[in-house]
């Protein structure tokens, strides 16, 4: 590292802004895996396989952690193992005084799981409670819980009741952790009710509960509500869920003009203060966000990725020749359309700017008689967008790690989770504006293949950005011997559904589902029932930053800024080892360009002046691009 505490990160960023900013390129799909498979239908029955529940951890053991900086604690068990069909629910909350609450879908009575409901555990500031053996709900079968804590400490959990002819949202609430839970149903005027909720807390006083869900006609696959099968509806409470002033609300543009049907769980919601953001990642429509800056009263929208057919309805068909010629393609699959995989996450920074993440996917609908669509589940790639990018301008930031170096996803099979090979993303931000995501991704290699079914395992990976999303660290595998409870089992752990605390402190804290067989009992895999664990993990931010900064400033050029901090002007010096066209520019921490400093051809040493007059005090980025390489230095303006 050069003097003046510069940040200089090498990327292989080409002139196209959509390429990776940490050096990884997109992997190809092995030809044997390049096939269209039935997309998740709107779920009615829940097929299961009989089997034996093997409890490996009893009670609430906490492993010795004196030799490691990270902590993993098993906080729950379940035989029911489907936590989402796409985007994660809000599963973990943390209060200002250090309490942590976590929820998950739990069930132990196999076949129909009549005991299915909300698993809940609480860290009281000193220790986690015992692993629960029964759901929170008194006498109703629920699933898909979302946990929220208001500014005053009220807990609110919303889930859904999925019984034929009885589709509704169910809540649990209490004013503090010392009270008993009260429960009931959220109001609705829709005959079919609604399902698969996502929730968040915000508002000027931190007491507003915001929910989205989809209408219950999606449960049967028949009929529609206002022209959409599974219409997204919005609900708002200004008093922590006691009363509701918006019920079954329709967001302008989030309607039949956007989509003909909604995939279950292919959406998310986040809030910070009066800023509320809904993300829509349903594969057969535009990938969009809807943003409100007045606590849900009015909305504007931004398109992240265009879907070439507006309002598409299953089995209506399309001519591949009419698809845009410049779209990403699968050369041997003319009906394939590049889109999102239904799994996305939103985080709002401290300036109320939106940061969005989602997985890649190819989808198609060639068979017009099956009542379903298809997808290519070995598609991979994680994407990032923030408001400085503009519309239709996402960036690719992570992929399956190419452990054997052949630029291809090299496995024979993998478990089925309704999304791609990099999915279930969750996002957070700390007080300094550092961004973090956790996601589940396939692990290559024979050492990570399950012997019973030949499927490779998935691990939880984290990547971070300390410059507002301009650059990202290399993926950090959280399923490693320094983190997990049993280091010898790292090669045999299936780690999925990571959900992190959105406001990151000194540690990135998340829960995930763990077991020893890829795929799920519930759904297409139909694995035998062997039990899963819900684990809590806490990893110091400094560990992630240190591990992630594997790349260094290139030998191709050196970059320095002085003085730093600076007031009226600063001088940038750099060396190019051969003649090259370069561009030098100044950006704010959101990546927005503040000034073009210079653009020229040069060889050897150069020095350029940056005029800082009129700039607000704060942190900026000096960015040098030459050929296809980039270096970035932080500059503090006083």
> pLDDT tier at 589 (50, 70, 90 boundaries)?
low
Who has greater pLDDT, 413 or 331? 413
**Least confident segment among 157-161, 276-280, 323-327, 416-420:** 323-327
Q: Rounded distance, CA 349 to CA 465, Å?
A: 13
Most confidently predicted of 218-222, 454-458, 581-585: 454-458
Cis before 565 (ω within 30): yes
Task: Identify the band that residue 7 occupies on the pLDDT scale cut at 50, 70 and 90.
Answer: very low
pTM: 0.81
* CA contacts within 13 A on the Cβ side of 512: 31
pLDDT digits (tens, 9 = 90+) for 375-401: 999 999 999 999 999 899 999 999 999
**Cβ count within 10 A of residue 471:** 25
How confident is the model at residue 158, as a pLDDT?
A: 98
**75-93 mean pLDDT:** 97
Instruction: Give me the pLDDT at residue 19, please.
Output: 33
**pLDDT band of 374, cuts 50, 70, 90:** very high
- Which among 267, 255, 143 has a CA at the least distance from the CA of 200? 267
Determine whether domain 28-548 maps to CATH 2.120.10: yes
Which of 606 and 13 is assigned the larger pLDDT?
606
The overall longest dimension of the chain from CA atoms, in Å, is 75
Find tokens 């269209």 and name the residue.
36
> What is the token pair recorded at 174?
């209490």
Tens digits of per-residue pLDDT, 162-197?
Answer: 987 779 999 999 999 999 999 999 999 998 899 999
Query: Which part of the chain is CATH 2.60.40.1930?
Result: 557-637
For CATH 2.120.10, list the domain ranges present in the chain: 28-548
Categorize the per-residue pLDDT at 592 as very low, low, confident or very high, splitting at 50, 70 and 90. low
Distance (Å) of CA 124 to CA 91, 99, 145, 300, 634: 17, 5, 20, 39, 39
Residue 555: pLDDT above 50? no
Say whether pLDDT at 20 is over 50. no
Percent of the chain with pLDDT over 90: 65
Q: Model confidence over 521-546: pLDDT tens digits? A: 998 888 999 999 999 999 999 887 65
> Residue 32 above 70 pLDDT?
yes
Mean pLDDT of 353-361: 97
In the predicted model, is pLDDT for residue 373 greater than 50?
Answer: yes
Half-sphere exposure of 552 (CA within 13 A, CB side): 4
Q: How many CB atoms lie within 10 A of CB 387?
A: 19
Per the CB < 8 A criterion, the answer to whether 342 and 394 are in contact is: no
Structure confidence by residue, pLDDT tens digits, 196-243: 999 999 999 999 999 999 999 888 777 899 999 999 999 999 999 999
What is the overall mean pLDDT for the chain? Answer: 86
What is the assigned CATH class of domain 557-637?
mainly beta
Binned at pLDDT 50, 70 and 90, residue 25 comes out as confident
- What pLDDT sits at residue 601? 66
Please tell me the predicted confidence (pLDDT) of residue 62: 35
């Amino acid at each position: 590292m050069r003097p003046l505490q510069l940040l200089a990160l090498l990327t292989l960023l080409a002139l196209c802004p959509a390429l990776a900013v940490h050096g990884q390129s997109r992997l190809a799909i092995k030809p044997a895996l390049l096939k269209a498979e039935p997309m998740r239908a709107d779920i009615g029955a829940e097929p299961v396989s009989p089997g034996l529940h093997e409890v490996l951890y009893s009670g609430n053991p906490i492993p010795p952690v004196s030799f490691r900086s990270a902590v993993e604690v098993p906080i729950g068990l379940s035989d029911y193992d489907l936590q989402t069909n796409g985007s994660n629910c809000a599963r973990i909350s943390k209060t200002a005084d250090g309490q942590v609450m976590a929820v998950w879908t739990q069930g132990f009575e196999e076949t129909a799981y009549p005991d299915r409901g909300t698993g809940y555990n609480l860290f009281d500031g000193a220790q986690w409670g015992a692993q629960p053996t029964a759901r929170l709900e008194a006498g109703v079968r629920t699933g898909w819980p979302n946990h929220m804590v208001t500014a005053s400490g009220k807990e609110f959990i919303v889930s859904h009741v999925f019984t034929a002819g009885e589709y509704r949202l169910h809540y649990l609430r209490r004013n503090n952790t010392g009270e008993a839970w009260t429960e009931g149903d959220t109001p609705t005027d829709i005959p079919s009710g609604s399902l698969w909720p996502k929730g968040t807390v915000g508002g000027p006083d931190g007491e507003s509960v915001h929910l989205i869900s989809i209408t219950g006609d999606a449960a049967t696959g028949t009929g529609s509500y206002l022209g959409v099968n599974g219409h997204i509806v919005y609900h708002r409470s200004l008093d922590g869920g006691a009363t509701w002033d918006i019920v079954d609300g329709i967001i302008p543009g989030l309607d039949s003009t956007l989509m003909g049907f909604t995939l279950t769980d292919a959406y998310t919601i986040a809030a910070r203060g009066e800023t509320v953001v809904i993300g829509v990642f349903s594969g057969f429509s535009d990938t969009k966000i809807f943003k409100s800056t007045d606590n849900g009263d009015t909305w504007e929208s931004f398109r992240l990725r265009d879907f070439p057919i507006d309002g598409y309805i299953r089995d209506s068909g399309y001519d591949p020749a009419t698809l845009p010629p410049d779209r990403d393609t699968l050369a041997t699959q003319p009906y394939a359309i590049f889109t999102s995989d239904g799994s996305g996450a939103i985080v709002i920074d401290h300036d109320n700017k939106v940061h969005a993440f989602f997985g890649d996917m190819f989808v198609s609908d060639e068979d017009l008689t099956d009542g379903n669509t298809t997808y290519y589940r070995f598609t991979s790639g994680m994407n990032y967008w923030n408001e400085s990018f503009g519309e239709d301008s996402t960036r690719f930031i992570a992929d399956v790690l190419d452990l054997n170096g052949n630029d291809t996803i090299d496995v024979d099979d993998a478990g089925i989770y309704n999304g791609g090979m990099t999915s279930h993303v969750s996002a957070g931000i700390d007080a300094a504006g550092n961004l973090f995501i956790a996601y589940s991704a396939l692990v290559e290699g024979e050492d990570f293949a399950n012997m019973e079914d030949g499927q490779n395992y998935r691990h939880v990976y984290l990547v971070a950005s300390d410059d507002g999303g301009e650059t990202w660290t290399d993926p950090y595998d959280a399923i490693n011997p320094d983190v997990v409870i049993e280091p010898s089992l790292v090669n045999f752990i299936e780690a999925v559904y990571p959900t992190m605390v959105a406001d990151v402190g000194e540690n990135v804290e998340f829960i995930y589902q763990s077991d020893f067989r890829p795929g799920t009992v519930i759904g297409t895999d139909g694995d035998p029932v062997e039990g899963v664990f819900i684990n809590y993990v806490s990893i110091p931010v400094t560990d992630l930053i240190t591990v992630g900064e594997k790349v260094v400033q290139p030998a191709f050029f050196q970059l320095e800024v002085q003085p730093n901090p600076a007031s009226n002007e600063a001088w940038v010096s750099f060396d190019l080892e051969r003649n090259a066209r370069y561009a030098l520019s100044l950006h704010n921490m959101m990546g927005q360009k503040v000034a073009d400093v210079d653009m020229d051809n040069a060889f050897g040493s150069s020095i350029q002046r940056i005029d800082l007059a009129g700039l607000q005090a704060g942190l900026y980025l000096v960015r040098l691009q030459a050929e296809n390489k980039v270096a970035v230095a932080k500059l503090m303006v006083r």
